[in-house]
Amino acid sequence: MTTDQDAAMMRRCLALASSARARGEVPYAAVIGRNGRMVCESINRANADRDVTQHAELVAISQAQKALGTSSLDDCTLYTLVEPCPMCAYAMREVRIGRVVYGLGSPVMGGHSRWNILGDDGLSSRMPEVFATPPDIVAGFFTHEAAAVMQAWNPLFWTFVELRDLIRADVLHGTKRGRKRSLAAASLRWMVDRLWRR
């Protein structure tokens, strides 16, 4: 179940992600809220910091812990455009994040749909001193808007991501997906042949 506050937080996340291009980053962003109020926000900092671990979710988690003066974010919600990767998902479990809201699925790298770190009861049942029960998950929230941000950032990148099924926005394509994918695949093959295989 989502609320108006969830929609406001996700809109802020979308705006942050849209601003990432100007800062030389990929369009990933995270917002952490608590009791309907924003605690912190971040975009990816991997390029700026030359550190691949600086995903938006990890940066936001670090900021939230400092801002709230605690290592437990059990009463917080993390909002992000794309399903968190395993690295970010594990950090979310360790800080006991209470809720995760994301737009696009990530069938290859997803810390929820592929690796199920976010939903793994074994972490909390075997180590309840460290891990809380799995967070509540809201998947597919603002999917169209999240996909639009990714596509606007780099249409070629978005085509590549869709072809490889790395990020999924199924509701955008419906029954036309196969045809679009074939045309996109042909276009990508043509570009590779012309630009890189001279």
Angle between the N-to-C axes of helices 155-163 and 177-195, in degrees from 0 to 180, rounded to the nearest 10: 120
Which residues are bridge partners to 136 per DSSP? Answer: 99
Question: Could you tell me how many residues make up the chain?
Answer: 198
Active site includes 57? yes
What the block records as the tokens of 176 is 């036309």
Tell me how far CA of residue 22 lies from CA of 48, 157, 162, in angstroms.
12, 17, 24
What is the spatial order of strands in the sheet that 99-104 belongs to?
37-43, 29-34, 76-82, 99-104, 136-139
Catalytic residue among 57, 83, 129, 162: 57
Which residues are bridge partners to 80 per DSSP? Answer: 30, 102
Q: Which residues are catalytic?
A: 57
